[in-house]
């Protein structure tokens, strides 16, 4: 597959979702893939908007049918994957595609895609990341701890990406992405 695909990665709690939401609000021509996940919805999350919330069996079926472009077990608890057909359609329609996924998925995409853009969103520091994860209030302390462990692995892999955007100031981070995407 070829196409204008930007993979945006970075540790959980770094604000990837907020950055991508601000970017698409300003540039509605961007198409953001909606992932399938076996994790339970958080309060306020909507099926088919934030994620496709599916069962373990349905996820197995997607894998068996080669319906996912990539997938990963994240934080040792839930599986997340990018539906293949929707991305292929968006690319075929000439849309600018964004995949907001974690490290293992980004590595898989790199194996299948020619000419993708790989952007790592980094926190100003690990302390700030921990503070944001706790402040979100959506995870238990045990979940926060596991996310910080994953984050440490992810932060060490930032150099695998073409670009690193530090999310200190939201407006600044979005402006850097606008420039990287040539918008
Ligand atoms: P959360 O549970 O906080 O929504 O997401 C947890 C992590 O899974 C985040 O780092 C997010 O980027 C990642 N993620 C979301 N969708 C996908 C996907 O389709 N594939 C992969 N590999 N990771 C995903």
Quick one: angle between helices 126-136 and 141-156, nearest 10?
A: 150
Task: Give the Å distance between the CA of 182 and the centre of ligand 1.
Answer: 25
Choosing from 13, 102, 106, 152 the residue with most ligand 1 atoms within 8 A of its CB, the one to mutate for a pocket test is: 102
What would you measure as the largest C-alpha separation in the chain, in angstroms? 43
* Closest C-alpha among 171, 32, 33, 9 to residue 104: 9
pLDDT tens, position by position, 52-92: 999 999 999 999 999 999 999 998 889 999 999 999 999 99
Residues 6+ apart with CB under 8 A from 44: none
pLDDT tens, position by position, 129-154: 999 988 888 888 998 999 899 999 99
Task: Give the Å distance between the CA of 79 and the centre of ligand 1.
Answer: 8
The residue ranges of every structural domain in the chain are: 5-181
Does residue 98 have a pLDDT over 90? yes
Q: With respect to CATH, is domain 5-181 assigned 3.40.50.720?
A: no
pLDDT at res. 35: 98
pLDDT at res. 135: 85
pLDDT tens, position by position, 104-128: 999 999 998 888 999 999 999 999 9
Mean pLDDT value across the chain:
94
Ligand 1: atom nearest CA of 50 is: 4
Task: Give the Å distance between the CA of 83 and the centre of ligand 1.
Answer: 13
Q: What is the pTM of this model?
A: 0.94
pLDDT at res. 172: 98
* Closest C-alpha among 13, 53, 21 to residue 148: 13
Indicate the pLDDT class of residue 1, thresholds 50, 70 and 90: low
Choosing from 80, 111, 118, 136 the residue with most ligand 1 atoms within 8 A of its CB, the one to mutate for a pocket test is: 80
Average pLDDT over residues 92-97: 95
Task: Give the Å distance between the CA of 84 and the centre of ligand 1.
Answer: 15
Tell the residue nearest (CA) to atom 22 of ligand 1.
105
Measured CA to CA, the distance from residue 32 to residue 156 in angstroms comes to: 26
Does residue 4 have a pLDDT over 80? yes
């Amino acid at each position: 597959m070829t196409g204008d695909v930007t993979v945006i990665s970075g540790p959980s709690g770094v604000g990837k979702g907020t950055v991508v939401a601000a970017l698409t609000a300003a540039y509605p021509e961007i198409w953001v893939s909606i992932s399938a996940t076996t994790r339970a919805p958080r309060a306020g999350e909507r099926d088919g908007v934030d994620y496709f919330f599916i069962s373990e069996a349905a996820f197995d079926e997607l894998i068996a049918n080669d319906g996912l472009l990539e997938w990963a077990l994240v934080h040792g608890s839930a599986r997340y994957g990018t539906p293949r057909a929707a991305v292929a359609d968006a690319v075929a329609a000439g849309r600018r595609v964004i995949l907001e996924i974690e490290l293992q998925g980004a590595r898989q995409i790199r194996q299948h895609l020619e000419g993708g853009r790989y952007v790592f969103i980094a926190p100003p520091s690990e302390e700030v990341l921990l503070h944001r994860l706790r402040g979100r209030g959506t995870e238990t302390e045990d979940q926060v701890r596991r996310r910080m462990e994953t984050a440490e692995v992810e932060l060490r892999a930032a150099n695998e990406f073409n670009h690193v955007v530090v999310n200190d100031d939201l407006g600044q981070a979005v402006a850097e992405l606008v420039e990287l995407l040539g918008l």
